[in-house]
């Protein structure tokens, strides 16, 4: 019986699972919204941008394109709309049939702003220094506390912030290289319900107790909750190169290293009084509050960008990005003593590809218009996707504009629509029940930024 109780908490505390839930802006839990200019081109031209300080992180070698000291501030609002359709049964794997109660969870997403700031400074004709603060990964979703999938997720809040300091050197007028150090801070808060009633009546040795009105514990009538919080700080790096093949064609490449974290924090359980008393009488400690830790590795990212200047007014862009999601093969949670908090949970994520094309048109010296389309693959697999990971392939459509208010000051705006292919789930929940259904949703992104050159 002790093993069953420990197993119940493993998926409930899945750190990597919470990271992906509701991440409509990019597959997995990746955020690409560190530049409104890039957003308007469907995130293309990121490693060759000629007038965008976000290259501090996207490809430090491209900082040589900026001829003046440049300060830039970006903010993108991500508005996810999603709904669950489906249900399930408590006590899955037994002859009992207890349909899960609750609604569809409501809309778990609400508009959330993703800020970024960057600064590039010329030090010499062929040398640049830069710094940026951005959010490369993260999300925020919250379901109704009594929804049908409450045993998988209620609140999910992830913040990953990078401080990047980079340098670029133009070896020749045609070729430059760049290198940067990344200091990454990660903070995670997640919560879900636990069906202690099912655990106690099924685990009593006679599953029919779940149908006995005289038995004190019943499925979905003795719910508790768990809240897990953790954070970590670690280092990574970014390196890149830019090659001006001709006066009208430029290639850029960058590699962001994976960053290994050990999230450390606490698990806080809330138990009904009758359940707490039963656990105390049986010496069960699996649901005691205490310190926990979990290894987590954010993925490596390889980006190849191209820019083709058709004429002085028109430019075409293309990006291919490969994200190394294979770093999330499983999740293991541990007590401070090193004892596992249940068996490791399989995720088996796969590496993904992002393809995008975009264009810019200088309508006049004062205005530039841009647009783009892209396809983004999901790292999840049908066999291991659950309610914390309702992720699937998506199509992106973007438009944007720049107003060059003066030679020194400009303002950018962009809109991106993301359509998500309907993901399905058919899994055992963290409380030993089944959840079967599908999610439908989309996201609208609105970006606004300002740039000052001096």
Confidence (pTM) = 0.86
Please indicate whether residue 323 or residue 15 has the higher confidence score (pLDDT): 323
Which positions ≥6 away from 380 have C-beta within 8 Å?
Answer: 20, 28, 347, 349, 389, 391, 392, 423
State pLDDT tens for residues 162-179. 999 999 999 999 999 999
pLDDT of residue 11: 32
Residue 294 structure tokens: 């979990």
pLDDT of residue 300: 94
Per-residue pLDDT at 411 exceeds 70: yes
With CA atoms as reference, report the closest residue to 381 among 352, 350, 351, 420. Answer: 350
Give the C-alpha distances (Å, rounded to integers) separating 406 from 50, 313, 370, 452, 453.
17, 18, 19, 10, 10
State pLDDT tens for residues 245-292. 999 999 999 999 999 999 999 989 999 999 999 888 888 888 888 999
State pLDDT tens for residues 222-254. 999 988 889 999 999 999 999 999 999 999 999
Q: What span, in angstroms and rounded, lies between the C-alpha atoms of 67 and 22?
A: 40
User: In this structure, are strands 290-298 and 334-335 parallel, antiparallel, or unpaired?
Assistant: antiparallel
**For domain 2-453, which CATH number applies: 2.40.160.60, 3.30.9.10, 1.20.1250.20, 1.10.10.10?**
2.40.160.60
User: Could you tell me the residue ranges of all domains in the chain?
Assistant: 2-453
């Amino acid at each position: 019986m002790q093993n069953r109780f420990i197993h119940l908490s493993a998926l409930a505390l899945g750190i990597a699972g919470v990271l992906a839930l509701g991440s409509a802006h990019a597959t997995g839990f990746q955020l690409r919204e560190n530049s409104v200019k890039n957003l308007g081109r469907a995130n293309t031209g990121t490693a060759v941008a000629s007038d965008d300080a976000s290259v501090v992180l996207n490809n430090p070698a491209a900082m040589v394109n900026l001829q003046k000291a440049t300060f830039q501030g970006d903010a993108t609002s991500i508005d996810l709309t999603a709904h669950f359709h489906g249900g399930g049964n408590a006590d899955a794997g037994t002859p009992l049939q207890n349909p899960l109660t609750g609604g569809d969870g409501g809309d778990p997403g609400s508009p959330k702003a993703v800020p970024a700031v960057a600064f590039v400074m010329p030090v010499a004709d062929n040398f640049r220094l830069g710094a940026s603060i951005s959010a490369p990964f993260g999300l925020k979703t919250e379901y109704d506390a009594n929804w049908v999938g409450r045993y998988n997720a209620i609140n999910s809040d992830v913040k990953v912030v990078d401080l990047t300091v980079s340098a670029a050197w133009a070896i020749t007028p045609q070729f430059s290289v760049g290198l940067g150090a990344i200091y990454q801070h990660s903070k995670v808060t997640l919560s879900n319900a636990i069906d202690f009633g099912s655990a106690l009546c099924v685990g009593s040795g006679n599953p029919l107790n779940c149908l006995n009105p005289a038995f004190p514990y019943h499925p979905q009538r003795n719910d508790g909750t768990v809240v897990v919080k953790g954070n970590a700080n670690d280092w990574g790096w970014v390196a890149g190169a830019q090659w001006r093949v001709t006066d009208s064609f430029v290639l850029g490449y960058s590699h962001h290293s994976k960053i290994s974290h050990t999230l450390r924090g606490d698990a806080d359980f809330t138990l009904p009084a009758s359940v707490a008393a039963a656990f105390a009488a049986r010496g069960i400690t699996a649901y005691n509050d205490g310190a926990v830790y979990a290894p987590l590795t954010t993925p490596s990212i390889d980006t190849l960008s191209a820019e083709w200047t058709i004429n002085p007014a028109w430019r075409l862009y293309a990006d291919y990005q490969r994200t190394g999601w294979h770093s999330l093969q499983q999740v293991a949670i541990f007590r401070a003593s090193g004892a596992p908090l249940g068996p490791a949970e399989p995720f088996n994520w796969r590496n993904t590809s992002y393809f995008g094309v975009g264009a810019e048109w200088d309508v006049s010296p004062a205005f530039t218009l841009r647009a783009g389309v892209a396809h983004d693959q999901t790292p999840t697999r049908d066999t291991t996707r659950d309610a914390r990971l309702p992720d699937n392939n998506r199509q992106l459509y973007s438009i944007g504009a720049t107003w060059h208010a003066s030679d020194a000051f400009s303002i950018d705006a962009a809109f991106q629509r993301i359509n998500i292919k309907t993901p399905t789930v058919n899994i055992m929940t963290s409380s030993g029940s089944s959840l079967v259904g599908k999610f439908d949703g989309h996201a609208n992104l609105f970006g606004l930024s300002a740039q000052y050159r001096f």
